[in-house]
Amino acid sequence: MQFFREIWLLLQQTTKDNNMFIIKLLYKYLTTFGDYLILIGRSLSRPERMRMFFKQYIKEMSQLGVNSIGIVLLISFFIGAVICIQMKVNIQSPWMPRWVSGYTTREIMLLEFSSSIMCLILAGKVGSNIASELGTMRVTQQIDALDIMGVNSASYLILPKIMGLMTIMPFLVIFSSGMGIVGAYGTAYLGHMLSPDDLTLGIQHSFNPWFMWMSIIKSMFFAYIIASVSSFFGYTVKGGSIDVGKASTDAVVCSSVLILFSDVFLTQLLS
């Protein structure tokens, strides 16, 4: 009897500890979310000098967007080619219309790859770039120096990144879709997997322009998530170089998860 009583007490204690853990975890997440909102509130205030803002805005568009064009085009070309091959090999059959491979390639590129998957890839490249840049500025006291000067450091550093990435991301999505189609033509002309005429027929079949807009709208949301979440992790770093590395990883993980979650809601909302 004593044995069972002890087991029961132990179970009670474990549940109690678990409750504490959950409350602590919830408290931590809510605090972090609150800090994020406060930082974004500070960031979205009117720039002190428009001249300096535009200078930073152009710089960020170049650094975050233009410098990513190469990787976007490279990945999109090969993914477009691979999707086309997979569709031809696994979907195309005598029972299917001959335009099916081109049609599905276009829809996959436009609806998911160029917006969501490309943004996931960019979350890794751009997100870690933003978090490590701001994190390094924090630990080397460059952000403190801005604050001492009376500059709103959040607005000066974060707002141009958010605006810059949101401006350039739709262009990256359009380039990605285009390059995916080029990749598909590569399999037709170079790989002779299907005839270029069939591919063209599929690509032109039942084109819905709203899908392009949907892709662009989604990418702008994702750009905001990447820039703001990564900036938050970088800006709030405490400690040294190890913490900058950790913030960089956290930024990529967190923005990737948020992109995946919001993709579900946005797809449902916009479809």
Partner 1 sequence: MIEVKHLYKSFEDKTVLNDINAVFEDGKTNLIIGQSGSGKTVLMKNLVGLLTPTSGEVLYDNRDFITMSKNEKVMMRREMGMIFQSAALFDSLTVLENVMFPLDMFSSMNYRERVKRAQECLDRVNLIDAQQKFPGEISGGMQKRVAIARAIVLNPKYLFCDEPNSGLDPKTSLVIDELLTGITKEYSMTTIINTHDMNSVMGIGENILFIYKGNKEWQGTKDDIMSNTNEKLNDLVFASDLFRKVKKAEMAEKK
Residues near partner 1 (CB under 8 A) are 48-49, 51-52, 136, 140-142, 144-145, 147-152
Min dist CB 61 to partner 1, Å, is: 15
3-state secondary structure of 200: helix
Q: Which is nearer to partner 1, 14 or 142 (CB)?
A: 142
Min dist CB 243 to partner 1, Å, is: 16
Residue type (1 letter), 63: Q
DSSP state of 190: T
Separation between Cα atoms, residue 134 and residue 229, nearest integer Å: 12
Tokens 């899908």 locate to 211
Min dist CB 136 to partner 1, Å, is: 8
DSSP state of 206: T
Q: Which is nearer to partner 1, 42 or 246 (CB)?
A: 42
Min dist CB 82 to partner 1, Å, is: 38
Q: Which is nearer to partner 1, 149 or 242 (CB)?
A: 149
Q: Which is nearer to partner 1, 6 or 144 (CB)?
A: 144
For the chain, what is the largest distance between any 2 Cα atoms, rounded to a whole number of angstroms? 82
Tokens of 167: 């401006």
Q: How many helices (H) and strands (E) does the chain have?
A: 11, 0
Min dist CB 48 to partner 1, Å, is: 6
Tokens 């996931």 locate to 120
Q: Which is nearer to partner 1, 19 or 142 (CB)?
A: 142
